[in-house]
Amino acid sequence: MNKHTLILNDFVIESHVKNALNEDIGFGDITTDSIVSKDKTTKAFLNTREDGIFCGVKLFRKVFEVLDKNIKIEFCFNDGDAIKKGDTVAKIEGNTNALLKGERTALNYIQKLSGISTHTNKYVEKIKEYKAKVVDTRKNTPGFRLFEKYAILQGGGSIHRFNLSDCVMIKDNHIKYAGSITKAVELVKSQISHTHKIEVECDTIKQVIEALNAKVNIIMLDNMEISDIEKSVKLINDNAIIEVSGKVTLENIEKIAKTNVDIISTSSLINKAHTLDLGLDF
């Protein structure tokens, strides 16, 4: 999936933004309403205080559109663009009351998403010479999954399952319940559509061999040492897609990619990303 294939539906964005504004504004912004006249207008500039990958155009714009449909916003960069410390990312002009009320919510969206895109891009750049793709996981913030996965794509990464209905992933607890990988695969094959792929999480070489014999589509090598990953790659021999997950860091991702695996998935793209420092200057 490339960065243009996950579309942020306007209805979904507006619903999310309205809930966010209701949460933040509550019964009214008592500070702004007390100080700023309702007919006052202002120019403001969205500036970045550090380098990164920008993300969140639609969400930022929607915050202010909800508060005042007449606010004008001119973006100097698009989602996925690299921005440098000191860059003006957008120019905003409109009702001062609305700008002040929406400032924090709008910044929260773009700071978080730009942070994820920026952090993802660091992983992508580390292994750009290898065939492996950098992929996220389902360790998302509840209610924010669509936007986090969108940010992953803007940073140059790829996404794993969007939700549990996308494909079968047989994990250690499934295997324990079924009794074996073989039995678990038999059970899912009897229930699922022919269009669904089957992935199995393997902790040992023995499990890799069993998954291969069960003819699964994807084998995840979970928390394996590099030596065991190398052995597994030779065993699998292109008979399944190979994914590595667990304890992936910026420091070791290149070593993993060198083993010739297809996918490297990590929750760090989201969980270890810091918010990018952007500010709205009046």
Residue 171 annotated to the active site: yes
Please tell me which residue in 136, 199, 222, 262 is annotated as part of the active site: 222
Q: Is 201 a catalytic residue?
A: yes
d(CA 281, CA 278): 10
Q: Is 104 assigned a catalytic role? A: yes
The sign one gets for the Cα dihedral 94, 15, 116, 146 is: negative
Nearest Cα neighbor of 223 from 245, 201, 250 is: 245
Active-site entry in 51, 68, 93, 104: 104
139 is catalytic: yes
Please tell me which residue in 201, 210, 243, 262 is annotated as part of the active site: 201
Task: Kindly list the distances between the CA atom of residue 214 and the CA atoms of 170, 194, 248, in Å, as whole numbers in the listed order.
Answer: 12, 15, 27
Given 18, 49, 131, 171, the catalytic residue:
171
Question: Which two structure tokens, joined as six digits, stand for 98?
Answer: 């609305």
Distance of CA 44 to the CA centre of its chain: 29
Catalytic residue, chosen from 72, 131, 139, 247, is 139
Q: Which residues does the annotation mark as catalytic?
A: 104, 139, 171, 201, 222
